[in-house]
Amino acid sequence: MKDVLEEIIAWKRIEVEKYKSEVSEHDIHMQVEKIINLDSPTVSMRKALIESSTGIISEFKRKSPSKGWIKEDGKPDIIPLSYQQYGASAISILTDEKYFGGKDEFIVEARKSGVNIPILYKNFIIDEYQIFQARLCGASAILLIAADLKISECKSLLYTAHQLGLEVLLEMHSESELDYAELEPDMYGINNRNLGTFITDIKNSFYLSSRLPKNTCKVSESGISDPDIVKELKLAGFNGFLIGENFMKTKNPGDALNDFITKIQN
């Protein structure tokens, strides 16, 4: 079976070099420095999840490599704001264009529409340049994927993110990746989807939960469609639950989130 993750990362290396040729590393560093000097600190995603009664991270995801277009006409100035209005603790926005139909501008548009809760910059980050892109467009946190990176690379990127005032959700999928947990990210993620095959199994979160450090912020990602599963994951120690396709495939994702949260709370 084709390894989709390898294909994405190979493309991402080409894409990042293209971005650097358009806006130099020096120039993007200067742009971000101006923002940091003018902006108030970014809102904490970790704090929002720990203090939330539901912990739902609603995802704005228009497309996926396995399903194709989910909601091609999804509006970044409408859906993320509706997520906020209906009780999301945080929002994840896909910014990869080729495989997920996303753009950095989607975060900019979401912020302009009135979204002020934490936004996760969801992409395949392999270079610190992308972290500057995340800070520039208004993200609060970034995703780092263990399967993409050596531990030393992940450590360096995590440091850069913190220097720019961004938090890090570090995503692991298998027992072999749990060594990355020693880097002490802001949030520890367990992805139920294998990014090589895109096969999803919610049991993965339950299996790995006890192997994560205690008293930390834990996030279960992908394949969550049942409110009762969220209740069970909470009992297993998870604080956050990243849900995208389950909402995005509906006519009104905000309404779908509202219904989901109501069922969790009953």
Predicted structure pTM score:
0.95
Confidence of residue 196 (pLDDT cuts 50, 70, 90): low
pLDDT tens column, 87-107: 999 999 999 999 999 999 999
Whether 249 is a known active-site residue: answer no
Establish whether 222 is a catalytic residue.
yes
Among the listed residues 15, 58, 61, 64, the single catalytic one is 61
Q: Ramachandran region of residue 114, left (φ > 0), alpha (ψ -120 to 50) or beta?
A: left
Residue ranges covered by each domain of the chain: 4-265
59 an active-site residue? yes
Q: Please say if 171 is a catalytic residue.
A: yes
Catalytic one of 82, 123, 191, 192: 191
The question of whether 61 is a catalytic residue gets the answer: yes
The dihedral region occupied by 254, where left means phi > 0, alpha psi between -120 and 50, and beta the remainder, is alpha
* Lowest mean per-residue pLDDT among 108-117, 124-133, 160-169, 222-231: 222-231
Angle at the Cα of 81 from the Cα atoms of 31 and 224, rounded to 5 degrees:
105
Mean pLDDT of 35-46: 88
Q: What is the pLDDT of residues 124-180, one digit of tens each?
A: 999 999 999 999 999 999 999 999 999 999 999 999 999 999 999 999 999 999 999
User: Is 221 an active-site residue?
Assistant: yes
2 pLDDT band (50/70/90 cuts)?
Answer: low
Proportion of the chain in helix, strand, coil states, percent, rounded to 5: 45, 15, 35
pLDDT of residue 113: 98
The answer to whether residues 187 and 219 touch, using CB atoms and an 8 Å cutoff, is: yes
Name the superfamily (CATH) of residues 4-265: Aldolase class I (3.20.20.70)
